[in-house]
């Protein structure tokens, strides 16, 4: 009997200790605020020419990424993340009902940017404001605020890659934003379309490959007769990322010249204006325009030697004094083949990129 009594006493004591421990743990859990780690990453710039693209989540051009990691012990609720950036974009607020202990949530900000950004020329810096609020298990509301400077690039700028410098391991990494070249190709712009029709109108470019090639050649000779020259733009170090000043085709026609990329974009735009599939090939240090025939064949052309004086001074060993279209084709083809052998070529296909939403600002 005595053994039974002692056993019961020990059992009740152990039960009391367990219940007390559970009570203390529950009280501590309620009183101890969860440890929440917030990590914010933002891009350093936005591009005026690509303003339509940022809101398309499928293209992945997020401006900010917020990671909220609840390390416990309790859950957090009513999580709100608010983004705002001056007069350029509509404020946005994202909500998350519940983040459990040890759960990590990632929120991306794809901004809807006002068309007024296309009026930016030299660029400016604006703060991106991020406000994060959430409610702890004890009912207390926590608020965090942070500002990050964002450089608003003028409408003529292209940032080739937004990756950190220590992550640029290959040539392709340096040009991870290559698809943004497409926003500068504007075949439906009035000045560009008129120039294309004046240069190569009257040919059956919709179905006849011979006429497509003939139109491609006429664009080449027409722009030379118009006096288009090749030149280089000065470098720009306003943003730490590799960037380039890029002209729209209308501007290249007005200035009667441009860089290799400007000229390639102009050539491709004029071909597209005539209903010919066209694009720009990117290779190390250079851009070359091309058209694609109905059989899938590509016809490349070295657009910089539309400037006959430049061609003779830099390519005298491979071109004649006339610097013909055929020579421009041969020179471009040789460069493309060499780059392709090294795996260093990117084709900016205008039609394919438009289908996935990479469109020009106008």
Same domain, 121 and 218: no
Give the model's pLDDT for residue 21: 52
Q: Mean pLDDT check: name the lowest of 17-26, 92-101, 117-126, 306-315.
A: 17-26
Residue 5 lies in a domain: no
Q: Give me the mean pLDDT over the 123-152 stretch.
A: 95
Cite the DSSP H helix spans in 258-317: 260-273, 308-314
Share of the chain above pLDDT 90, in %: 79
Q: How far from the centroid of its chain's Cα atoms is residue 154's Cα? A: 15
Confidence band (pLDDT; 50, 70, 90) for 202?
A: confident
Confidence label for 164 from pLDDT (cuts 50, 70 and 90):
confident
Say if CB 68 and CB 104 are below 8 A apart.
yes
- Asked whether 296 and 284 are in contact (CB, 8 A), the reply is no
Long-range contacts of range 97-100, CB-CB < 8 Å, 24 or more positions apart?
99/68, 99/70, 99/75, 99/134, 100/70, 100/75
Looking at residue 122, what is its pLDDT? 77
Question: Are 119 and 213 within one domain?
Answer: no
The answer to whether the CB of 288 falls within 8 A of the CB of 281 is yes
pLDDT-derived band at 31 (thresholds 50, 70, 90) equals low
Q: What is the reported pLDDT for 27?
A: 46
Alpha helices, DSSP H, located in the chain:
2-31, 171-174, 190-200, 209-226, 249-255, 260-273, 308-314, 325-341, 350-355
Residue 163 has pLDDT above 70, yes or no: yes
Is residue 171 predicted with pLDDT exceeding 60? Answer: yes
Structural domain boundaries, residue 70: 33-153
pTM for the complete prediction?
A: 0.88
Last residue of a domain, one of 106, 129, 153: 153
The residue out of 101, 133, 153 marking a domain boundary is 153
Tell me whether residue 26 is in a domain.
no
Residue 84 CB partners (closer than 8 Å, separation 6+): 91, 92, 128, 129
Residues in the chain, total: 362
Q: What is the pLDDT of residues 247-268, one digit of tens each?
A: 999 999 999 999 999 999 999 9
Please say if the pLDDT value at position 320 is more than 80: yes
Name the one residue in this structure whose structure tokens are 């989540």. Answer: 57
Whether 216 and 164 map to the same domain: the answer is yes
Q: What is the pLDDT of residues 272-313, one digit of tens each?
A: 999 999 999 999 999 999 999 999 999 999 999 999 999 999
Output the average pLDDT for the chain.
Answer: 91
Q: Are 243 and 142 in a shared domain? A: no
Give the highest mean pLDDT range of 16-20, 117-121, 160-164, 290-294: 290-294
Residue 209 has pLDDT above 80, yes or no: yes
Q: Measured over all CA atoms, what is the biggest interatomic distance in the chain, rounded to whole angstroms?
A: 121
Checking if the pLDDT of 25 tops 70, the result is no
Average pLDDT over residues 34-53: 95
The residue-averaged pLDDT of 218-237 equals 90
> Do residues 305 and 332 both lie within one domain?
yes
Percent of the chain with pLDDT over 70: 90
CATH, residue 176: 3.10.620
Average pLDDT in the 310-327 region? Answer: 96
Q: How far apart are CA 352 and CA 109, in angstroms?
A: 26
Q: Is 247 a member of any domain?
A: yes
Count CB-CB contacts under 10 A for residue 207. 9
Of the candidates 257, 265, 268, 263, which has an alpha carbon nearest to the alpha carbon of residue 215? 268
For the cut 60, the answer to whether the pLDDT of residue 239 exceeds it is yes
Q: Given this model, what pLDDT does residue 120 score?
A: 87
Residues 231, 294 share a domain: yes
For residue 114, being part of any structural domain is answered with: yes
| CATH number reported for the structural domain that contains residue 45 in this entry | 2.60.40.10
Same domain, 213 and 184: yes
pLDDT digits (tens, 9 = 90+) for 58-80: 999 999 999 999 999 999 999 99
**In the listed set 153, 171, 192, which residue is the last one of a domain according to the structure?**
153
Mean pLDDT of 235-257: 87
Supply 44's token pair. Answer: 């350093």
Give the mean pLDDT of 153-171: 87
Task: With beta carbons less than 8 A apart as the criterion, state whether 34 and 72 touch.
Answer: yes
Q: Please tell me whether residues 83 and 188 are part of one structural domain.
A: no
Q: Are 230 and 310 in contact (CB under 8 A)?
A: yes
Closest CA to 185 of 121, 78, 112, 279: 279
Rounded to 10°, the helix 209-226/325-341 angle is: 110
| Total domains, the chain | 2
Mean pLDDT of 193-220: 95
Neighbours of 110 (CB within 10 A): 19
Residue 241 has pLDDT above 80, yes or no: no
Q: What is the pLDDT of residue 28?
A: 45
Residue by residue, DSSP assigns 34-57 as P-EEEEEEE-SEEEGGGTTTTT-G
Q: Does residue 207 share a domain with residue 140?
A: no
Tens of pLDDT, residue by residue over 91-106, are 999 999 999 999 999 9
Contact 24, 52 (CB under 8 A): no
Mean pLDDT of all residues in 132-144 = 95
């Amino acid at each position: 009997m005595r053994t039974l009594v002692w056993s019961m006493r020990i059992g009740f004591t152990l039960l009391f200790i367990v219940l007390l421990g559970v009570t203390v743990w529950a009280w501590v859990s309620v009183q101890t605020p969860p440890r929440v780690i917030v990590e914010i990453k933002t891009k350093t710039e936005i591009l005026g020419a690509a303003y339509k693209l940022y809101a398309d989540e499928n293209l992945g051009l997020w401006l900010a990424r917020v990671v909220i990691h609840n390390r416990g012990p309790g859950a957090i609720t009513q999580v709100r993340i608010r983004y705002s950036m001056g007069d350029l974009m509509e404020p946005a607020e994202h909500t998350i009902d519940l983040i459990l202990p040890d759960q990590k949530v990632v929120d991306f900000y794809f901004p809807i940017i006002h068309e007024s950004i296309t009026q930016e020329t030299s660029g400016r810096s604006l703060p991106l404001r991020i406000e994060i609020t959430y409610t702890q298990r004890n009912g207390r509301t926590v608020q965090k605020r942070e500002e990050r400077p964002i450089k608003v690039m003028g409408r003529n700028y292209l940032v080739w890659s937004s990756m950190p410098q220590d992550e640029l391991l290959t040539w392709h990494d340096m040009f991870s934003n290559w698809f943004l070249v497409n926003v500068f190709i504007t075949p439906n712009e009035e000045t560009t379309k008129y120039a294309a029709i004046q240069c190569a109108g009257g040919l059956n470019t919709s179905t006849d490959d011979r006429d497509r090639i003939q139109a491609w050649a006429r664009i080449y000779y027409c722009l030379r007769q118009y006096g288009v020259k090749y030149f280089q733009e000065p470098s720009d170090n306003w943003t730490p990322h590799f960037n380039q000043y890029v002209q729209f085709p209308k501007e290249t026609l007005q200035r009667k010249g441009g860089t290799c990329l400007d000229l390639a974009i102009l050539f491709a735009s004029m071909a597209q204006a005539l209903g010919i599939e066209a694009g720009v090939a990117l290779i190390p240090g250079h851009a070359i325009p091309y058209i694609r025939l109905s059989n899938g064949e590509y016809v490349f052309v070295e657009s910089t030697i539309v400037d006959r004086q430049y061609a003779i001074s830099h390519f005298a060993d491979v071109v004649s004094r006339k610097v013909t279209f055929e020579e421009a084709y041969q020179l471009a083809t040789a460069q493309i083949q060499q780059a392709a052998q090294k795996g260093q070529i990117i084709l900016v296909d205008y039609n394919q990129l438009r289908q996935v939403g990479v469109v020009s600002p106008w």
